[in-house]
Chains A and B, each alone.
Chain A
Amino acid sequence: MTKAKPKLRFSRKLLAIPYALFLAIFVVAPLVIIVYYAFTNGDTGEFTVDNFVNFFSGTGGQSFFESSRFKTIVQSFFISVMSTVLCLAIAYPVAYIIATCKVKNKAGLLLLFIVPMWVNFVLRINALKELLDWIGIYNKSDEWNIFNTVLGMVYDFLPFMILPVYTTISKIDKSYLEAARDLGAGGASAFLKITLPLSKPGIMSGVSMVFLPSMTNYVISNYMTFNHTKIIGAFIDECFKNDLWNLGSVTALLLLTLMFLITWLTGGFDAQSETNARGTSLW
C-alpha cells in the first residue's frame, strides 16, 4: 500500500502543463517573432536597427514631423487621451451615483449600462454610425471625424470604466465617511479626502482598459470616419496588409512597450486585484 501511494497521488500541478505550453507557443512565441521582425532586415534576415530608424524618419523629402505617420501618432494620442478623459468624466459620476444611491437593486441598475455590450461589437459600432448619419454629422469634415472617433471609443469602452470604479467605490467602508463627517468635514472635502483617493485603483484599472484600446481599435476609427481618420492600430493593419512586416513589427513592439509601461504604472499585473480583469467583471 505505502509503495503504491506516491504513484496514485498524481500531482495536480502537472495539470498546468498543457496551458503553460499553450501560452508559450501561442502567446510568448508570437511576441518573440515580433521582436525578431522588428530587429531584422526584411530581405536578408540580418540584425539591424534600420526599421526603427525608418519608423522615425520622414518619407518623400518630408521630415518625420511633417509625415503622415507623425500625424497618425499625434492623432492617436489625442483620440486616446480625449476618450479616456471623457470616459472617466462620464463613468465616475455614474459609478458614484449608483454606488451611493438608496436604490435596492443596484446590480440591476448597473446591468442597464452593460446590457448593450452583449450586442455584437461591429453591429453596435454600425448602429452608432447610423445614428451619426441620421443626425447628419457622419463623415462631414476632419474635425467631425475625430469627434466621431472619440464618441465611438467612449460608446464602446464606457462600461470598462464604470465597472472597476463602481467596484472600488462600493467597497469603501462607510464608517470612514461617517468619521470624516463627525470630525467636521463637509460633503465635498469628505469626497476629496476619502472617496476619491480610495477609488484610485478603480480609476487606474479603468484607464488602463480604455487608453490602449482607444489608440489601437482601428475598427472603430475606420468605421466612424469611413477610413478617413487613421490611428496607430490602423497603421499596423496597413503595414501587415502591404507586406511591410518589419515596419509593422516595430510599431507593434512600441505599442507592446507602451502596454507594459501603462500596466506597470496602473498595477495591472497584479492578478490578485479584482478590478483589473477586463470583461470578467461583466459577468
Chain B
Amino acid sequence: MVKLRSILKWVFIGLVLLFIYAPILLLTVYSFNESETITSWQGFSWAHYEYFFNMENQPLPIVIQTICLALVVASLSTILATVGSIGIFYSKKRTSSLLSGVNQIPVINAEVVTAISLAFLFVAFNLPKSTFIPLIVGQMVLCTPFVVLSIIPKLKQMDNNLYEAALDLGATPTKALFSVVIPQISPGIVSGFMLAITLSLDDYVIAAYTKPNTFQTISTHIYSLAKGSTVDTIKSSYWALTAIIFAIIVIVVIVMNIIANKKAGKKR
C-alpha cells in the first residue's frame, strides 16, 4: 500500500516533468529536421543550425543585440538597485515602507499595464523611441525592483556593527560602504544581476512598447514571425536556438552540481 502510493507519487512528478520538457525536447529533435515543418520528419540535417549561425541572416545579430541590451539593462538596474536598497534600508520606517510598497508595483502589475503607462509617459516627455532610452528605462522599471528584492534580505542579515567599527577605526563612510557593506551584500547583488539579465532577455511586452521600430529582440522578432505569413526558414532556425539555449542551460546546471558536490565532498 505504502509502496503503491510512493510509486504513484513519482509517476505524477514524472508526468508533470514530461509536460514541462516535452515542447523543448520536441523542438530540439526537430531542429535537426531537414524540412521546416514540425509535422513531418524528413531526415537528419544541420541546415537550421547553419542558417542560424550565418551572420548574414537575421537571427544571430538579433541574439547578439538582445544579449547586449540585457547586459546594459542589468548593469544599470543593479547599480541603481544597490544604491537604492542601501538607502531604503537605512531610511526611516515610514520612508522605507513607502518605497518598498512602490517597489512592489512593477512586480505585481500586469506587464501590459506597465508597458502602456510607460509608453504614455515617453509620449508626454516627447522622448523618441529611436534614442533607445525608452527601451532601456522601460526594462529597468521591470528589472530594478527584483534586484532590490534580492538585496534587501542580505542587508537585513548583515552585521551592522561592522560598519560602525570601520568608521571608528577611521574609514570614511564611502570607504566603509565599499569595503564593509557591499561585500556583505554581494551575493544578493550577484543574484539580482542574474535575475535582471533573465528578465530582460525574457521580456516581450515592455520591449514591444518602447523599442525603436527598427530594433528587434529575440522575443519581438519571433512574435512578429508568428503573426504574419513568413519565411519558415527563419522560424525554424529559432528551433536551433531553442535547442542551443537548452543545451547550454543543461550543461551549466550539471557543472554547477558537480562543483557543489565537490565542495561538499571537501568539507567532509
Residue of B nearest to A159 (CB): B20
A28 touches B16 (CB 8 A): no
Which segment, of A5-13, A66-74, A178-186, A195-203, faces chain B? Answer: A5-13
B242 interface neighbour in A16, A123, A212, A218, Cβ under 8 Å: A123
List A19-43 residues whose CB lies under 8 Å from chain B: 19-20, 22-23, 25-31, 33-34, 37
Q: DSSP class of B's interface residues: helix, strand, loop or mixed? A: helix
A26 interface neighbour in B108, B118, B124, Cβ under 8 Å: B118
B27 interface neighbour in A16, A130, A208, Cβ under 8 Å: A130
A245 touches B120 (CB 8 A): yes
Q: Indicate if B111 sits at the interface (CB-CB under 8 A).
A: yes
Q: Indicate if B32 sits at the interface (CB-CB under 8 A).
A: no
Task: Please give the number of chain A residues whose Cβ is less than 8 angstroms from any Cβ of chain B in the complex.
Answer: 88
Which residues on B sit within 8 Å (CB–CB) of A11?
90
Q: Indicate if A127 sits at the interface (CB-CB under 8 A).
A: yes
Which residues on A sit within 8 Å (CB–CB) of B158?
none
A90 touches B245 (CB 8 A): no
List B199-232 residues whose CB lies under 8 Å from chain A: 199, 201-205, 209, 218-219, 222-223, 226-227
Q: Flag B106-121 by CB within 8 Å of A: 1 or 0 each.
A: 1111111110111111
B108 touches A118 (CB 8 A): no
Residue of B nearest to A123 (CB): B242
Contacts A14-B87, A17-B87, A18-B83; is A127 near B146 (CB within 8 Å)? Answer: no
Q: Indicate if B255 sits at the interface (CB-CB under 8 A).
A: no
Q: Indicate if B69 sits at the interface (CB-CB under 8 A).
A: no
Q: How far does the Cβ of A114 sit from chain B's closest Cβ, in whole Å?
A: 9
Contacts A8-B173, A119-B246, A120-B245; is A13 near B20 (CB within 8 Å)? Answer: no
B218 touches A120 (CB 8 A): yes
A26 touches B141 (CB 8 A): yes
Q: Indicate if B195 sits at the interface (CB-CB under 8 A).
A: yes
Residue of A nearest to B110 (CB): A216
The contact size tier of chain B is 35 or more
Q: DSSP class of A's interface residues: helix, strand, loop or mixed? A: helix
Q: Indicate if B95 sits at the interface (CB-CB under 8 A).
A: yes
A124 touches B24 (CB 8 A): yes
A63 to B80, CA, bound (A): 50
List A227-278 residues whose CB lies under 8 Å from chain B: 227, 233, 236-237, 240, 245, 248-249, 252, 255-256, 259, 263, 268-269, 271, 274, 276-278
A12 interface neighbour in B177, B194, B199, B249, Cβ under 8 Å: B177
Which residues on B sit within 8 Å (CB–CB) of A274?
153
- Identify 25 residue pairs between A and B in the complex whose beta-carbon atoms are under 8 Å apart, listed by A's number: A15-B90, A18-B80, A18-B87, A19-B81, A26-B140, A97-B12, A108-B257, A113-B20, A116-B246, A119-B24, A119-B245, A126-B242, A127-B242, A129-B226, A133-B39, A155-B19, A155-B23, A212-B108, A217-B111, A233-B110, A249-B120, A268-B104, A274-B153, A279-B195, A280-B146
